[in-house]
Amino acid sequence: METKNIMIVGVGGQGTLLTSRILGNMTRKAGYDVKISEVHGMAQRGGSVVTYVRYGDKVAEPIVEEGCADVLIAFERLEALRYAHFLKKDGVLIVNDVRMDPMPVAIGAAEYPADIIENLSKKYKVISLDAKAEAIKLGNARVFNTIIIGVAAKRMDFDKEAWIEVIKETVKPKTVDINVAAFNLGFDFI
Amino acid sequence: MNEKAGTQMVMLGNAAIARGAYEAGVKVSAAYPGTPSTEISENLVKYKDELYCEWSPNEKVAMEVAIGASFHGVRAMASMKHVGVNVASDPLYTIAYSGVNGGLVIVAADDPGLYSSQNEQDSRMVARAAMVPVIEPSDSEEARVFTKRAFEISEKYDTPVMIRTTTRLAHSQCIVNLEERQNIEDKPYVKNIAKNVMMPAMAKARHLIVEERMKKMSEDGYDLDINKVEYNDTKVGVITSGIPYQYVKEVMGDASVLKLGLVHPLPRRLIEEFASKVDKLYIVEELEPVIEEQVKSWGIECVGKELLTVQGEYSANLLRKALLGQKLDIEPAADVPARPPILCPGCPHRSVYHVLKKLKKHAAGDIGCYTLGAVAPLQVVETSVCMGSSISTLHGLEKAKGSEYVKDWVACIGDSTFLHTGVNSLMNMVYNKATGTVIIMDNSTTGMTGHQDHAATGLTLMGEETYMINIYELCKAMGVKYVREVDAFDMKGLEEAIKEETARDAVSVIIAKSLCALHKDFVPKGKCKVDKDKCKKCGMCMASACPAIHKDPEGFAETDETLCNGCGHCMQCCPFGAIEFIPNN
């Protein structure tokens, strides 16, 4: 199989690491070679963060290159726009439709771009949802990323049950139930 | 623990180094946290029933702890980020002369691309200068295997061995095969002054041995198993090592490749043989042309930094463009506002910088999350060099410009950084009659690297309770007469303290104390909430750019409940009492 490229982008602290680990564990479980690349350190303090997951028969480099991503998962709108050019022409963009102002916007030195999702939809296949609002309804805003994983999982080649197994193995024991509920919500979203 | 020999795991490069060290029978490990090396110790501690590991106050101490263990016959390791190697370079240069008893491995984690560092130095250059062999793995599995080989090579050639990693290797995961821990017998300690006491007469003799050793290792490198030749089409040959090997494989699958595991000393005969068999030779190495310059010095024609940059990380696309001359059909990146890192919601540093800004003070800064006090909108930190430098640069500016001048300045340093190398600088201020003010921003942890314990937290890396060094008493004991502790969120108290202490003609220390809001023991007391009837849209609450407060579509301040840690900073900034505190139940 040709190597598949997934990118997860967001704002430091949103949980891109955990998400990439769940995806990585899933692909490994399915028998693929996998490489995951993460960002630690200063960027985690509210900066723009990127993690990469690559899987296939034999994976060499651990990063996803511009123009090569099959799936781009963005935890925030502006970050979707920032990294959209990493997508392949027929790549899928999954966006958490929330706005988090970066410092230059917060202090009035820059404008938050308007109509991001509308504009990206002209170029790419975009699936957007306000996963944070859905997560709050479930009772914990932090599981928004598991909802997004559910949305992504629907578009990948692994069994739903296998996904749920991996989530159970990866998240903290006391958050298993809410994460599984979040995954199901995402999986059934569209 | 889910890590059984004979199984496979997806592992971070750093976790794999820890696993390799464990399997190699390492008995003592010491480190100071630093991105991208921190997770080595954090993973090694999982095996604490079978080995000892610690956080030392700095890399020099860590290296010497490992050296002591090696002298006495056990396998030992010290790990650090690239700039930590500078701190540890004093023992490094000399232990290369003494050599080892138990295998001694130093992990140096470079940061091409500067993800979380103050410079982009290449540790291979340091190792060359120190005459220490360097081994470089290219993925997690190799990180495990090469770490084991590093201990063997260390003992075989009687030398410390450096494992050089980069951020991409350290923070990438791939599949790793787990093996059993080797049962390595302690070697007997034998008193040997000529080898282990480096004074001029002994060191002169040892220097000859070091030169011989490097020559021998270069020769033996010809058939060393971690140097690997992959002959394919011989029109193009590539010499590479580490993570760049992966980019070469991605892009130049047909080329012949000499992948070096031992990158210093270089296996000259192997390189000459490889070069003679290929028509065109490229050298692909991130950062400095360490391999390239040596290969060229032997009269071998090759291409490297003529086409490839010495800055940042490489990638497959970079090689496609630079080496293959390909034009890539890639959409241009959108022009969007940057998202630089910022202080977290509930971060106690924000409050300190807010007060300093209000008082129009300038800060000599240091290394930690609080270096972010340099950027908008806080912009209080005006200089930052290296760990501990805030205090000594403050002292230097006073000696240059006088004791009135220094009244507008303070040094800002974190608790972990203070204990790392700030203590000596403060001692110097007392000794040399300084009058400046040092603010120790004490959040009771090593914050930026992910909350490691240190000598003033009361816990060891192994999780044992220990004596908690009292920073206040430490400053007092060094002769600082004016030391006071202030709650970092008490802006009035801080203002008063900073005004009084900077005006004083004596050295003073203010310990601004409050637990890091990301620490596992931090429990928010409640949330801040804006009463829109009282909000005048003045924006004062947003002046310090807390990520948890923003303007709503109508321009009123609004807090984000999921982000707010209830520190109350915005409440203290609001002139209209429009922000209330909602305590948690």
DSSP H/E element including A1: none
* Tens-digit pLDDT profile for residues B414-459: 999 999 999 999 999 999 999 999 999 999 999 999 999 999 999 9
- The pLDDT assigned to B545 comes to 87
* pLDDT at res. A107: 84
Tokens representing residue B64 in the block: 């010497």
Phi first, then psi: what are they for A104, rounded to 5°? Answer: -60, -30
For B198-221, the pLDDT digits (tens) are 999 999 999 999 999 999 999 999
Q: How many CB atoms lie within 10 A of CB A33?
A: 17
3-state secondary structure B449-507: CCCECCCCCCECCCCCECCCCCHHHHHHHCCCCEEEEEECCCHHHHHHHHHHHHHCCCC
Minimum CA–CA partner of B34 in chain A: A41
Alpha-carbon B59 to chain mean position: 10
Tell the residue number behind the tokens 């949980």, with chain if given.
Answer: A15
Query: Rounded distance, CA B148 to CA B574, Å?
Result: 58
Bond preceding residue B133 cis, omega within 30 of 0: no
A101 and B174 within 8 Å at the Cβ level: the answer is no
- CB-CB neighbors (< 8 A) of B376 in chain A: 103-104, 107, 109
In three-state form (DSSP H/G/I as H, E/B as E, the rest C), the secondary structure along B222-257 is: HHCCCCEEECCEEEEEEEECCCHHHHHHHHCCCEEE
Q: Do the Cβ atoms of A35 and B173 come within 8 Å?
A: yes
Q: In angstroms, rounded to a whole number, what is the distance separating the alpha carbons of residues B3 and A177?
A: 26
Distance from CA of A43 to the nearest CA of B (A): 5
CA of A69: which chain B residue's CA is closest?
B330
- pLDDT(B369) > 70: yes
Give the mean pLDDT of B97-123: 97
Q: Note the pLDDT of residue A42.
A: 65
What is the residue whose two structure tokens read 């805030």?
B390
Q: Does B2 reach chain A within 8 Å, measured CB to CB?
A: no
Give dist(CA B482, CA B531) in Å, integer. 41
B294 touches chain A (CB under 8 A): no
Percent with pLDDT over 90 in chain A: 82
pLDDT in tens, A84-139: 999 999 999 999 999 998 989 988 899 999 999 999 999 999 999 999 999 999 99
Q: Is A41 close to B448, i.e. CB distance below 8 A?
A: yes
Q: Identify the pLDDT of residue B1.
A: 47
Region for residue B287 given its phi and psi (left: phi exceeds 0; alpha: psi -120 to 50; beta: otherwise): left
**Which tokens go with B338?**
């940057």
pLDDT band at B111 (very low <50, low <70, confident <90, very high): very high
- Percent composition of chain B: helix, strand, coil (DSSP 3-state, to 5): 40, 20, 45
Q: Which two tokens stand for residue B39?
A: 């997770």
Q: B376 touching A, CB under 8 A?
A: yes
CA distance B542 to chain A (A): 8
Give the model's confidence band at B571: pLDDT under 50 very low, under 70 low, under 90 confident, else very high: very high
Give the sheet arrangement for strand B52-55, strand by strand: B52-55, B28-31, B76-81, B104-110, B161-166, B134-135, B262-264
- Interface check B379 vs A, CB under 8 A: no
Percent of chain B whose predicted confidence (pLDDT) is above 70: 100
The two three-digit tokens of residue B82, written as one number: 């690239």
Query: Which of A25, A36, A46 has its CB closest to that of B172?
Result: A36
* pLDDT value for B2: 60
Q: What is the pLDDT along chain A (190 residues), one digit of tens a residue?
A: 899 999 999 998 888 888 998 999 999 999 999 999 988 766 667 899 999 999 999 999 999 999 999 999 999 999 999 999 999 999 999 999 999 989 899 888 999 999 999 999 999 999 999 999 999 999 998 899 999 999 999 988 899 999 999 999 999 999 999 999 999 999 998 7
In this prediction, residue A41 carries a pLDDT of 67
The whole-model pTM stands at: 0.96
**Residue B413 DSSP SS3:** strand
B488, B493, B497, B499 alpha-carbon torsion, rounded to 10°: 110
**Residues B467-486: pLDDT tens digits?**
999 999 999 999 999 999 99
Q: Select from A25, A34, A60 the Cβ nearest to the Cβ of B249.
A: A60
Residue B341 and residue A42: Cβ atoms within 8 Å? yes
**Is residue A101 a contact partner of residue B550, using CB atoms and an 8 Å limit?**
yes
pLDDT (0 to 100) of residue B3? 82
* 8 Å CB contact between B177 and B141: yes
Chain A hits for B550, CB-CB cut-off 8 Å, are 101, 106
Q: Which residue in B2, B139, B173 has the most chain A C-beta atoms within 10 A of its own C-beta, making it the best mutation to test that interface? A: B173
Give the pairing of strands B437-442 and B508-513.
parallel
* Residue of B143, B150, B265, B181 whose CA lies nearest to B1: B181
Q: Do B343 and A101 touch (CB under 8 A)?
A: no
Shortest Cα–Cα distance, B23 to chain A (Å): 23
Mean pLDDT (whole number) for B385-406: 98
SS3 string of A29-77? HCCCEEEEECCCHHHHCCCEEEEEEEEECCCCCCCCCCCCEEEEEECCH
Contacts of B30 (CB under 8 A, 6+ apart): B53, B54, B55, B56, B61, B62, B63, B65, B66, B76, B77, B78
Query: How high is the pLDDT of residue B456?
Result: 98
The answer to whether the beta carbons of residues B160 and B35 sit under 8 Å apart is: no
Which residues, in sequence order, are bridge partners of residue B303? Answer: B282
Residue of A nearest to B451 (CA): A41
Q: Which two tokens stand for residue B504?
A: 């004083």
Q: How far is B85 from chain A (nearest CA, A)?
A: 18
- Count Cβ atoms within 10 A of the Cβ of residue B235 and give its class: 0-12 exposed, 13-18 middle, 19 or more buried: exposed
- H or E element at residue A158: none
Model pLDDT for residues B117-148, shown as the tens digit of each residue = 999 999 999 999 999 999 999 999 999 999 99
CB pairs under 8 A between A and B: 165
Q: Which residues of A touch B342 (CB under 8 A)?
A: 45-47, 103
* A12 min Cα distance to partner chain B (Å): 8
| pLDDT at residue B60 in the model | 98
Cβ contacts (< 8 Å) between B338 and chain A: which residues? Answer: 48, 102-104, 110
Q: Do B337 and A81 touch (CB under 8 A)?
A: no
Chain B CB contacts of A104 below 8 Å: 337-338, 376
A44: distance to nearest CA of chain B, Å? 7
Tokens of B45: 């501690």
Tell if the CB–CB gap between B247 and A61 is shorter than 8 Å: yes
Using alpha carbons, select from B286, B281, B321 the residue that is nearest to residue B302.
B281
Cα–Cα distance between B312 and B414 in angstroms, integer? 28
Under 8 Å between Cβ of B105 and B160: yes
The dihedral over CA atoms of B365, B423, B395, B429, expressed in degrees to the nearest 10, equals 150
What is the full DSSP assignment across B289-357?
Answer: -HHHHHHHHTT---BSTTTS-SSS---HHHHHHHTT-PPP--PPPP--------PPTT-HHHHHHHHHH
Q: What is the pLDDT of residue A39?
A: 80
Query: How much is the ipTM here?
Result: 0.94
pLDDT at A45: 78
How many Å lie between the alpha carbon of B137 and the closest alpha carbon of chain A?
A: 13
Distance CA B217, CA B445 (A): 42
Give the model confidence (pLDDT) of B142-192 as tens digits: 999 999 999 999 999 999 999 999 999 999 999 999 999 999 999 999 999
* Euclidean distance between CA atoms A13 and A15, whole angstroms: 6
Q: Which of residues 316-375 of B touch A (CB under 8 A)?
A: 316-317, 328-334, 336-344, 369, 372, 375
Residue B240 β-bridge partners: B259, B284
CA A20/CA A18 separation, integer angstroms: 5
Return the CA Rg of chain A: 16
Minimal-distance CA residue of chain B relative to A103:
B339
With tokens 């050793």, the residue in question is B213
Residues of B in contact with A41 (CB under 8 A): 35-36, 115-116, 448-449
Q: Tally DSSP H helices, then E strands, for chain B.
A: 21, 23
B115 touches A: beta carbon within 8 Å: yes
